[in-house]
Amino acid sequence: MKDINLMDDYVFETCHVINDFLQSNNEQSARNELIKLLDYHQVNTIQYTPVVNHLIRKTGLYPYMRNDTSSWHDRYVYEVFKVDTGEKEKLTLHREQSLLLKKLINGENIAVSAPTSFGKSFVIDSFISITKPNNVMIIVPTLALTDETRRRLYKKFANEYKIITTTDIQLAEKNIFIFPQERAINYVDKIENIDILIVDEFYKASTNFDKDRSPTLIKAILKLGKVAKQKYFLAPNISTLGENPFTEGMEFLPLEFNTVFLEQHKLYEEIKGDEQLKSNILLDILRKKKTKTLIYAGTYSNINSVSTLLLTNYPISNKPLLEEFSSWLSTNYGANWILTNLVRRGTGIHNGRLHRSLSQIQVKLFEEKEQGLENIISTSSIIEGVNTSAENVILWMNKNGTSRLNDFTYRNIMGRSGRMFKHFIGKIYILDSPPKEEKTQLDLPFPEEILGDLDKDNFKQELTKEQVAKIILYEEEMSGIVGAEVYEKLKSENVFQSSNSDLIKSIAIDLSANPHEWNGLGYLNSPNVNNWDRLLYKIINFERSGWDDRYTNIVEFTKILRMNWFRSIPHMLRKLEKYDIGIDEFFKLERKVCFKLGSLLMDVNNLQKEILKNRNYDISRFVNHVSHAFLPTVVFQLEEFGLPRMISKKIHFNGVLEFYNLEANTTLPLHDALDDLKLIGAEAIKKKCKLVGFENYIVDYFFDGIDIES
């Protein structure tokens, strides 16, 4: 570290510029210039002077201060803003984090828009550590963020709280729930009160940003909000919040407080649509840069295009850890899979279809400094809350699926670049023309499809007269089909998985009007998969949109997935060849079967048990199998914790821990399994299961996620 008493010319002049911005009340420009100045200090290994520390204090970036070179009054501020975040030592918050924490401690309800680099997790952790609430509900948009949040909070609070991320878990005296909205709904009738309801990325409650899942999130906000003492909603890049019943009484805080500077390189101006030049520029960036890079491809086909480009033009990294990872992928997924060969070139793939453990392992490898992945090619899955420390973001295509990016999503992707204490400057390389810059007003219209699942008396303050009238009409229709008492029971127990009330009604009508067409429903419990066809086709046909594949493929895939616990993925892929289903299609279909088909089957089962009760059908066992990809429930759940099914199989079939008892048809409860695994220990599992190569790395990663900080 250069210990200098005199500033060099650049530092001196920049300090003047920063001070001038502060004097003219242009704090954001002052903060941007300061962050660039701190990067200059880091690159040139220059010690902060008292003047630089003072400017850090004036811009509110207190965590960046260096106490050893600060004046005493600046050191005092640094100490004053220290709080307990559950870490071993107290951490200093920046000014706006401290503002939010103060408001939360005072019991206020807040909806906040803040940049990705804001450091929102510190505020949540501090609130829990300081106020010691009994029940905390955190709703997150993806399962990837569920695990990331769980890992962070487990290390800090597992001694005091039960951390719950899956359904059907017995509650403790003090609980932290971390769920996507679909799972949160399952706990509506199980939790009497919530001390604070936290909704991360709450913009997804708008149909403009998530048409398919926003009704479920709105329903979760409404129902859980009724038992929540306090609400805290978070999102990036929102300018204004439209009037709506879901955030009524909440203070909206649009905070433009950045902790990193985003440096944009508008290379699309040079490319001008030349695809070959675009490819060459991408390769040139990757060859020259020395730090981690996220490549936003935008679509699955673009992921394949960029992957192929790197496979043919990018050198093999020869990193032993990545060679082991590639070998493991080859054995467990397939030698010809594009990812198997891509990781040897230091590049991974992140999308919403991959097995959860596989996505998590790649993010972990991306965080490795020396031996890990250098690049990750992604769809929008990487921007939905997965925190990485990438210095560089490359925007390959201005697309999000089939649509062009809007300015909101575009800025959200750019926000993945840079990270507090790691990269002061995030570098954005824009290879495709960006969307038109615009302010984003978040509007949260009431989704009409959830009205049939709401109690008109409980939610009368949130509903219009027209909506109440629709609820009354729906109640009359459903009561006429299943009986008023039965309908009230089903609604009060929150048994329906679908947020589409019309879908529920159409299933009920068919069960009532055509009972003979449901003959043999119990055959779905049969181990003979050939007995499944007729009923599966019938049930799938109730919800015709969103399958993204032929019905034949869905049914045949479901039947072959029945082998999942007893056969390898390469074995099942060989069986699927006749249907032209490869590994990428396997991931897509498994996700559809587990979540979409599983939810649909559960709704059918709950309705038929009331409408066809004299037939004594119950396909709960089949529903459970489908919802967990025909794996033991705990094995499927452990995959979300970072333990792939392949290693769980080795643990089970080597007699180390019995996850599933075939004769009794019982599965080990998740938290019992976690306790047992911790008792056995990582080293014993490696030895008894004779794990080799990358399997040992995976087990260490898994155990790191269930260890508690001392």
pLDDT surpasses 70 at 96 = yes
Tokens representing 268 are 């699309």
In this prediction, residue 291 carries a pLDDT of 87
Contact 509, 503 (CB under 8 A): no
Secondary element (H or E) of residue 295? strand 293-296
List the one residue out of 494, 512, 475 whose CA is nearest residue 610: 512
Neighbours of 421 (CB within 10 A): 11
Contact 145, 267 (CB under 8 A): no
In this prediction, residue 333 carries a pLDDT of 97
pLDDT surpasses 90 at 700 = yes
Which residues are CB-neighbours of 575 under 8 A, at least 6 positions away? 560, 563
C-alpha 332/C-alpha 110 separation (Å) is 46
In this prediction, residues 69-82 reach a mean pLDDT of 93
Which residues are CB-neighbours of 559 under 8 A, at least 6 positions away? 529, 530, 532
pLDDT, averaged across the chain: 92
pLDDT surpasses 50 at 5 = no
In this prediction, residue 148 carries a pLDDT of 87
C-alpha 311/C-alpha 319 separation (Å) is 16
Contact 17, 33 (CB under 8 A): yes
Q: Give the residue, 343 or 9, on which the prediction is more confident.
A: 343
Which residues are CB-neighbours of 286 under 8 A, at least 6 positions away? 293, 310, 314, 374, 375
Region of 397 please: left (phi>0), alpha (psi -120 to 50) or beta: beta
C-alpha 212/C-alpha 86 separation (Å) is 36
C-alpha 378/C-alpha 368 separation (Å) is 18
In this prediction, residue 387 carries a pLDDT of 67
Q: Give the per-residue SS3 of 589-622.
A: HHHHHHHHHHHHHHHHHHHHHHHCHHHCCCCHHH
DSSP state of 169: -
Contact 137, 97 (CB under 8 A): no
In this prediction, residue 526 carries a pLDDT of 94
| Region of poorest pLDDT, from 206-215, 472-481, 698-707 | 206-215
At position 609, the amino acid (one-letter code) is K
Q: How many residues does the chain have?
A: 710
For 31-65, what is each residue's pLDDT tens digit?
999 999 999 999 999 999 999 999 999 999 999 99
For 419-478, what is each residue's pLDDT tens digit?
887 889 999 999 999 999 889 999 998 888 898 888 888 888 888 899 999 999 999 999
Q: Give the per-residue SS3 of 323-343.
A: HHHHHHHHHHCCCCCHHHHHH
Highest mean pLDDT among 108-112, 117-121, 379-383: 108-112
pLDDT surpasses 80 at 88 = yes
- Which residues, in sequence order, are bridge partners of residue 343? none
C-alpha 546/C-alpha 566 separation (Å) is 30
Contact 605, 581 (CB under 8 A): no
In this prediction, residue 4 carries a pLDDT of 45
List the one residue out of 38, 429, 20 whose CA is nearest residue 262: 429
Contact 310, 342 (CB under 8 A): yes
In this prediction, residue 383 carries a pLDDT of 67
For 358-409, what is each residue's pLDDT tens digit?
999 999 999 998 899 999 999 877 666 566 778 999 999 988 777 788 888 8
For 221-234, what is each residue's pLDDT tens digit?
999 999 999 999 99
pLDDT surpasses 60 at 3 = no
Residue keyed to tokens 């920063």: 18
C-alpha 252/C-alpha 607 separation (Å) is 41
For 125-177, what is each residue's pLDDT tens digit?
999 999 999 999 999 988 878 888 999 999 999 999 999 998 888 899 999 99
For 397-416, what is each residue's pLDDT tens digit?
988 777 788 888 888 888 88
Residue ranges with strand state E in 504-661: 660-661
| Region of poorest pLDDT, from 495-504, 506-515, 647-656 | 495-504
In this prediction, residues 302-316 reach a mean pLDDT of 95
C-alpha 683/C-alpha 700 separation (Å) is 9
Contact 249, 109 (CB under 8 A): yes
